[in-house]
């Protein structure tokens, strides 16, 4: 497990974040309770250790939260953090939180309003490799060992260095793909609790796409632009939202097109073309 540290300016030391509890980036930590525009826990941003990784998340309903690499400058500037931000967490919807950002190893800066916090994530210590014994003592891998855990392609494989630029270029050139993904991931963009993707067939009908496999094709294309191997379908939404590659403006555009298609009868023709009948909602007693 990697260890996360926050820089304590008053004490001039790095303070470790306990992995078994949330470290809240609240009014007290950021400003010493001086800035009344900042929120207290649990209505602020925070750091937590979940699913064997450290995350930055935010329940702040008024402030954006910026995460930028720390270039080692002695004087911290909120404006510099905003300009160099690699991730931006938008203000959270009431009672919900913005999609979390997984922290990578290294030094980072967090900006909230005019306040900047320095942190670093150290790599986990690796145990020394055990010397291999004689061939007769080496045990073959068991079936359980081959099955349990993530597939090799998913284990620690980072996105391509130019992934954000590649995806942004693709979505800028392909408006249909951008709207399809925004409509498909609309629960995630809205920050709803326990978000679910929209059924692909409903995306196809709403936006009058070519066929049932259109959304799946867009997903595969995006994954290929981001990662060097397959197996990242569950990571796609997080990457797109964490890098502002899908926004509420994209969702608004997709919903407007869907509404226009419904009014003009395009959706009805698409349903007939695909022979799709929407599921009936159970009547309330």
Q: Quick: pLDDT tens for 236-260.
A: 988 898 888 998 889 999 999 999 9
Quick check: is 143 in a domain?
A: no
With H, G, I as helix, E, B as strand and everything else as coil, classify residue 55: strand
Of the residues 98, 122, 146, the one at which a domain ends:
122
Interatomic CA distance for residues 283 and 42, integer angstroms: 38
What residue numbers bound the domain in which 80 lies? Answer: 3-122
Structure letter (DSSP) for residue 195: -
* pLDDT score for 275: 74
Query: pLDDT 10s per residue in the chain (285 long)?
Result: 689 999 887 777 888 998 888 899 999 999 999 999 999 988 899 999 887 889 998 989 899 999 999 988 777 889 999 999 999 988 887 666 667 889 999 999 999 999 999 999 997 755 545 555 544 444 444 333 333 333 444 444 788 899 999 999 999 999 999 999 999 999 888 888 778 899 999 999 999 998 778 898 899 999 999 998 777 888 898 889 888 899 888 999 999 999 999 999 999 998 888 775 555 555 554
**67-92 per-position pLDDT tens digit:** 999 988 777 889 999 999 999 988 88
Of the residues 90, 122, 154, the one at which a domain ends:
122
Residues 7 and 113 in one domain: yes
Among residues 149, 63, 50, the alpha carbon closest in space to that of 103 is found at 50
Q: What is the CATH number of the domain that holds 49?
A: 2.60.200.20
Of the residues 64, 95, 122, the one at which a domain ends:
122
Structure letter (DSSP) for residue 148: S
Q: Are 267 and 204 within 8 A, CB to CB?
A: no
Quick check: is 284 in a domain?
A: no
Quick check: is 155 in a domain?
A: no
Quick check: is 115 in a domain?
A: yes
Quick check: is 283 in a domain?
A: no
CB atoms within 10 A of CB 123: 9
For the whole model, what pTM was predicted?
0.47
Residues 76 and 170 in one domain: no
Residues 200 and 98 in one domain: no
Quick check: is 53 in a domain?
A: yes
Identify whether 37 is preceded by a cis peptide bond (ω within 30 of 0).
no
Residues 266 and 171 in one domain: yes
* pLDDT score for 126: 56
- When divided into structural domains, the chain yields a total of 2
Phi-psi region of 95 (alpha: psi -120 to 50; beta: other; left: phi over 0): left
Residues 238 and 182 in one domain: yes
Structure letter (DSSP) for residue 2: -
Residues 18 and 91 in one domain: yes
Interatomic CA distance for residues 225 and 138, integer angstroms: 40
* pLDDT score for 125: 59
Residues 116 and 171 in one domain: no
Quick check: is 153 in a domain?
A: no
Residues 94 and 171 in one domain: no
Residues 252 and 201 in one domain: yes
Q: Cβ contacts of residue 14 below 8 Å, gap of 6+?
A: 5, 6, 7, 8, 120
Q: Are 238 and 223 within 8 A, CB to CB?
A: no
Quick check: is 151 in a domain?
A: no
Residues 56 and 105 in one domain: yes
Residues 10 and 106 in one domain: yes
Residues 90 and 169 in one domain: no
């Amino acid at each position: 497990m990697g260890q996360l540290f926050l820089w304590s300016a008053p004490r001039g030391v790095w303070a470790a974040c306990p992995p078994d509890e949330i470290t809240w980036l609240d009014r007290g930590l950021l400003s010493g309770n001086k800035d009344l525009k900042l929120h207290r826990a649990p209505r602020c941003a925070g750091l937590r250790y979940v699913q064997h990784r450290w995350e930055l998340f935010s329940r702040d309903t008024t402030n954006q939260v910026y995460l930028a690499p720390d270039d080692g400058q002695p004087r911290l500037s909120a404006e510099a953090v905003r300009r160099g931000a690699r991730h931006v967490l938008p203000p959270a919807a009431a009672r919900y939180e913005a999609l979390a950002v997984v922290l990578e190893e290294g030094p980072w800066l967090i900006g909230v309003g005019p306040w900047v916090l320095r942190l670093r994530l150290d790599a986990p210590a690796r145990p020394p490799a055990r010397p291999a014994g004689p061939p007769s003592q080496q045990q073959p891998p068991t079936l359980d060992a081959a099955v349990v855990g993530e597939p090799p392609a998913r284990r620690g494989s980072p996105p391509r260095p130019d992934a954000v630029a590649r995806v942004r270029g693709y979505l800028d050139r392909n408006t249909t793909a951008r709207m399809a993904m925004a409509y498909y991931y609309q629960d995630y963009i809205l920050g709803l609790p326990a978000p679910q993707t929209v059924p692909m067939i409903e995306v196809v009908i709403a936006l009058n796409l070519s066929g049932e496999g259109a959304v799946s094709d867009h997903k595969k294309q995006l994954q290929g632009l981001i990662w060097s191997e397959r197996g990242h379908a569950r990571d796609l939404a997080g990457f797109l939202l964490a890098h502002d590659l899908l926004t509420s403006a994209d969702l608004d555009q997709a919903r407007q097109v869907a509404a226009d298609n419904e009014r003009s009868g395009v959706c009805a023709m698409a349903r007939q073309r695909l022979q799709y009948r929407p599921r009936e909602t159970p009547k309330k007693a």
